[in-house]
Amino acid sequence: MTETLTIIPISSYLAFCSALFAIGVVGVLIKRNALVILMSIELMINSVNLLLAAFATYMNDPAGQVFVFFIMVVAAAEVAIGLAIIVLIFRTTHSIDIDVLNKLKW
């Protein structure tokens, strides 16, 4: 069983996670819906998380995987608060278009 499984080089993971992170950055830049921007941020968090887990596994260090677990916990709390804020914004302004929500910009 173990002989048939080949090891994927870490550079493949680096390329894949870089692509996923870049897609997340593009999503934050081009979207106007605050909800989709939050989703793009989740995508970026996940790409970095996966890369951390890959390095932890390849270096045989369990501490890295523990930190991935903690990052997931913090991301869950962040999403809960972020969505609550989005609901609150929608209730007061009836829009979650970020081009409308520019009161704090200037």
Partner 1 sequence: MFTRYLFYFLCILALYSAVMVLLSRKPIHSVLYLTLAFFAIAGHYVLLNAQFLAVVHVIVYAGAIMVLFLFTVMLLNLNREERSQKAGWIKAAAMVTGGLLMLVLTGVFRGYDIAVVKNPVLTQIGLVKDLGKILFSDYLVPFELTSVLFLTAMVGAVLLGKKEQI
The torsion angles phi and psi of 61, rounded to 5 degrees, stand at: -120, 110
Minimum distance between the CB of residue 44 and partner 1, rounded to whole angstroms?
Answer: 10
Binders in 64-93 for partner 1, by CB under 8 A:
65-66, 68-70, 72-81, 83-88, 90
Give the closest residue to 57 by CA, choosing from 48, 66, 70.
66
The least CB distance from residue 37 to partner 1, in Å, is 11
11 binds partner 1 (CB under 8 A): yes
Residues 33-52 that bind partner 1 (CB under 8 A): 33, 35-36, 38-40, 42-43, 46, 50
CA distance 47 to 19: 9
| Residue 45 CB, nearest approach to partner 1 (Å) | 10
Closest by CA position to 76, among listed 54, 45, 51:
45
